[in-house]
Each structure stands twice: as C-alpha cells, then as structure tokens.
Amino acid sequence: MKDTVVSQANPQPYHRPSQVAIGQAPIGIDIGGTKINAAVVKTNPQTGEDELLSMMNSPTPEDSETFLNTLVDMIQRLHAEHQVSGVGISTAGVVDSIHGRILGSTGNMPALKNLCNLKELLEAKIGLPVHMENDANAAAYGEWRTGAAKGAQNMFAITLGTGVGMGIVFNGQMYRGSHFYAGEGGHIAIGHKRERKCTCGRWDCWEAYASGTGLQTTAELIVEAAPETAQQEFKSKYCENGVVTTYAVIAAWKNDNHIGVQIMDEWHNHIAVGLSSLINVMDPDMIVVGGGLAQFVDFNLLLERTRERSMSHAFKLVPAALGNHAGIVGAAYLAIESQPEPLT
C-alpha cells in the first residue's frame, strides 16, 4: 500500500467563475417522477449568490403530448418574464447530452419513452438552445458549480434515496464516459454471492445495500436474527403492526435502541464500502452526499468507515448544500456552458 498522501497531487484547483454572467439567464428544469420544477437561475450582483427566480412546478404528465406542451408552456412563461439565454433539462435515464437524446430507461416516466428527441422537439417550438443532462449528473454539477463542492478539481456526488445516484466532475468538467454511462456508481457490485437483487436486474449492486430499499432489507435481516426478547421490544416500541420500516429504524436509532444502532451501523458500513471503492478509482478531493436519506447519515462515522477502506485520506466528505435545487442549478449552468463560445 502506498503511503497516505495528505496533500493534493495537483495543487491548482480548477476554477470557473461560480456565477451566471451578467446578461445570461438560463432556465433550469428538473423532471421528476411526480413533479416538474423549473426556474430561471440568476446571480444577484449585490450578494454574488445564485437565486432561483419565478420558481414554478407542475405534476409530471403521463402522456407525451401533454408532457411536451407542459414544458413548452413553462419555458414560455419564464421567457416572457426574463430574458432567457438557454434551457437546461435534468431528467432520469441515460442521456446523450451531446445530441440531447435519452438513451436508457426513464423509470417511472412513461411520457419520456416517446420523447427521446426532446431537445430537438423543444428547440423547434421555443427557439432557444436546450441542453439535456442525466439528473444525477446535473445535481453533481450544481453542487460543484455553486454548492458544497465549489472549487474542487475532482469530485463526485451521490444521492441516497430509493436508489443511489451518482455524478462525476473530473478535472473541472462533467465526466460522462465514452457512451454516457459513467457515474452509474449505484450499480458497482459490492458482493458476488447473489444475496440481493438490484432494480437493474443484476445482483449485489451497491444500491441494493446503501439506498432506502437497501436499508429496509438490512433492517429486516437484523431484526429477524435478533434474540426473541430484543426483537419483540423493538417491534412493540417502534413498529406499527410489527412492520419493520426505515422510519422505525431511525426512531429506534435516535433512542439508542440496540437493534436500531446495529442496523444504522451496518448501513454506514454499506455506504462506506461503495464510497471507498469509488475513491480508490478516482482519488477525488471532495465527495458530496445528498438525497432524502442524507439527513440520517452520521458524517463523522461515515468518514471514519470510509477512511478505513480508502488508499487516500485527503478527501473531504460533505453533505449536499443545494437540496432539491441542485438539479435545476446544474442543468442551468450546463445550458450556458454547453453553448459554443460567441465569435469575436
């Protein structure tokens, strides 16, 4: 094993001005399974902080035509209020962001199945340049541009929710890989014994352990293996009708219940195993952890468990700063930065 490197191998962090330039006002749109959120992203010249202006949302329509019309309507309303310079869209699925095509499954959004050329369709209707990005990539980019990982040269962000999302910024640029499949960290295998089936159809992916669903499975297994009296105490105190849920686990953990602590400890181990594998490949200076479950992460414990397994100890592990807005901010910045430089 190499000696631990405590300073950055490259002392010159990559910098982009972390503000939207004067005169530019990109729209960021985050397409989620139930809701579409949109806003104009602008830097306040007084504070230097980014602001989301005219934030609006709509339920995600199920049919393609209504879906397209909803997006056009939202963009036109924002464009009428602000002088908009481009549109960035964050969506589920594998996205070819060069050609703006959705390549892979978009999960629970049937409308997008017939809209793989969404960029083309929107540009024809609104007359503005449109940039498409995978949602985990857009969120990571937002955190890197103006959020928790501002100024990092190499970083990745993970989101812990029903699944595990990941986005990578490598050498100051969004890293998408050769075929737009980079950042599928949720699907690195952390075992080989076919113990847990993943939503992707493969076995023992990191997501099957570190996600909310993974935590639930871990909880069920640990409760089942516990001595009868401890099991009964846990169920009667924290579970409704004896059903083990993540809510029950969190409540038990907060009350220092032995089973609750054991489950959360194992969950932190599971997160750390994946993180350290990714760290050993990437040697990042910063890692951002966000998503709905990040509020239950004990960052000191996770850092300790991750460091035990990582070659470098020089990384920072931080909570996400932009919350639900990371995708909008990231997509908006990508919209202006993906446009060709104006000729001078």
Work out how close the CB of 189 gets to Zn ion at its nearest, in angstroms, rounded to a whole number. 8
Q: Looking at 118-126, 171-179, 203-211, 311-319, which segment touches Zn ion (CB under 5 A)? A: 203-211
Q: Which of 128, 200, 221, 230 binds Zn ion (CB under 5 A)?
A: 200
Q: Which is nearer to Zn ion, 133 or 207 (CB)?
A: 207
Is 173 in a helix, a strand, or coil?
strand
Q: Which is nearer to Zn ion, 24 or 213 (CB)?
A: 213
Residues 6+ apart with CB under 8 A from 107: 33, 92, 93
Q: Which two tokens stand for residue 74?
A: 């939202």
Does 198 engage in binding with Zn ion (CB under 5 A)?
yes
* CA-to-CA dists, residue 163 to 102, 109, 167, 178, 334, angstroms: 19, 16, 14, 24, 24
Q: Looking at 129-137, 167-175, 198-206, 229-237, which segment touches Zn ion (CB under 5 A)? A: 198-206
Q: Which is nearer to Zn ion, 84 or 208 (CB)?
A: 208
Residues 6+ apart with CB under 8 A from 283: 9, 154, 311, 312, 315
- Which residue, among 196, 134, 186, has the nearest Cα to 161 in the 3D structure? 186
Q: Looking at 40-48, 174-182, 197-205, 307-315, which segment touches Zn ion (CB under 5 A)? A: 197-205
Work out how close the CB of 207 gets to Zn ion at its nearest, in angstroms, rounded to a whole number. 5
Does 270 engage in binding with Zn ion (CB under 5 A)?
no
- Which residue, among 171, 136, 212, 150, has the nearest Cα to 17 in the 3D structure? 150
* CA-to-CA dists, residue 233 to 220, 223, 262, 267, angstroms: 15, 11, 15, 21
Q: Which is nearer to Zn ion, 75 or 273 (CB)?
A: 273
Task: Check if the beta carbon of residue 14 is closer than 8 Å to that of residue 145.
Answer: no
Residues 6+ apart with CB under 8 A from 100: 117, 118, 119, 120, 130, 131, 132
Q: Which is nearer to Zn ion, 198 or 282 (CB)?
A: 198
Work out how close the CB of 274 gets to Zn ion at its nearest, in angstroms, rounded to a whole number. 12
- Which residue, among 80, 85, 82, 71, has the nearest Cα to 30 in the 3D structure? 71
Q: Which of 27, 130, 205, 244 binds Zn ion (CB under 5 A)?
A: 205
Q: Which is nearer to Zn ion, 86 or 274 (CB)?
A: 274
Q: Which is nearer to Zn ion, 111 or 205 (CB)?
A: 205
- State the number of binding residues for Zn ion (CB under 5 A): 5
Build a one-symbol-per-residue string for 163-192: x at contacts with Zn ion by CB under 5 A, - elsewhere: ------------------------x-----
> What is the tally of helices (H) and strands (E) in the chain?
10, 12
| Subset of 277-336 contacting Zn ion (CB under 5 A) | none
Does 95 engage in binding with Zn ion (CB under 5 A)?
no
Cα–Cα distance for residue pair 25/79, rounded to 1 Å = 9
Work out how close the CB of 123 gets to Zn ion at its nearest, in angstroms, rounded to a whole number. 33
Interaction site with Zn ion (CB under 5 A): 187, 198, 200, 202, 205
